[in-house]
Amino acid sequence: MRYALASVLLVFLNLSFANAQIIVGDSIFESLSSAPGDATRGRVIVASRQTGLCLLCHSGPFPEERFQGNLAPELSVSVARLTTPQLRARIVDASYFNPNTIMPAYYKTGHLNRVAPKFAGQTILSGQEIEDVVAFLVSLNK
């Protein structure tokens, strides 16, 4: 009985996870967390060389950070043309839009290449961290 209940719970949790990241057109309209994104926390994630790693490829409004990337567009240029749901979708899985992208899928666990066994089944960022990054990126348009 316990195994059946545990199995049902896991299926429910997996379905909830999958529904939270459904790309409709070019957007994910549903928030990935129950709390709104925090732009200050999002800035820390984007600038972090251990968490988001965004500055390996992108540059942005971070005068304190040396050696910002030039492989991808400057962040304010990237976000100027995208809505909040479009930004969320690209952070969740950029390969959905460009199969040849070098940008990692920050909120995807399946159909990935070269994932170390200890990281299998895990996302790079949590749903809340994605929402924080999106809040920061949207703030660049103001």
* DSSP string covering 79-115: HHT--HHHHHHHHH-GGGT-TT--S--TT--SS-SS-
DSSP β-bridge partners for residue 27: 24
CATH number 1.20.1630.10 is the correct assignment for the domain at 22-139: no
**Residue 32 class from Cβ within 10 Å (0-12 exposed, 13-18 middle, 19+ buried)?**
buried
Q: What is the pLDDT of residue 136?
A: 98
Residue 113 pLDDT = 83
| pLDDT, position 78 | 85
Q: State how far the Cα of 43 lies from the Cα of 39, in Å rounded to an integer.
A: 6
Token duo for residue 82: 């995208």
Report the pLDDT value the prediction gives residue 2, as an integer from 0 to 100: 53
Mean pLDDT of each 10-residue bin along the chain, 142 residues long:
48 43 92 97 96 95 94 93 96 95 93 88 96 97 82
Cα–chain-centroid distance for residue 63?
23
